[in-house]
Amino acid sequence: MTPDQLRAFCLDFNDATEEFPFGPETSVFKVAGKLFALSALDGEPLRVNLKCDPDEAVRLREEHPAVAPGYHMNKRHWNTVTVGELPDRMVRELVEDSYDLVVAGLPKAVRLRLDRP
């Protein structure tokens, strides 16, 4: 997955936006104002921070060397994923899971508007 593909995938979700609160080099992808992915898209290697269920986060870290505790994030709830070291399908699933976890924490009216009950 290329940086452009990762960016396009993150922005393809309902109400997803890209912001740059930490400077022009770090893309922060949000839904309804809440962070679901963070990446320096020009970084080598390409990495992305994604929200994850705590139990799933531990399992993923044990099974995949490309998944580490979230860099500069709450290590219980966030993983840093080295994109090129995992299959694209898995990266897409992890991004979608992150988006869904964030949406699940939003008020019901917002979830329904996003078509994610």
Report yes or no: 79 and 45 within 8 Å, Cβ to Cβ: no
Mean pLDDT confidence for 77-103: 96
- Domain residues for 47? 3-114
Number of domains the chain contains: 1
Residue 113 pLDDT level (bands cut at 50, 70, 90) = confident
Residue-level pLDDT at 115? 74
- CATH number for the domain harbouring residue 38: 3.90.1150.30
Residue 36 pLDDT exceeds 80: yes
Q: Which of 32, 28, 33 is nearest to 10 (CA)?
A: 28
Residue-level pLDDT at 116? 58
Mean pLDDT confidence for 51-72: 94
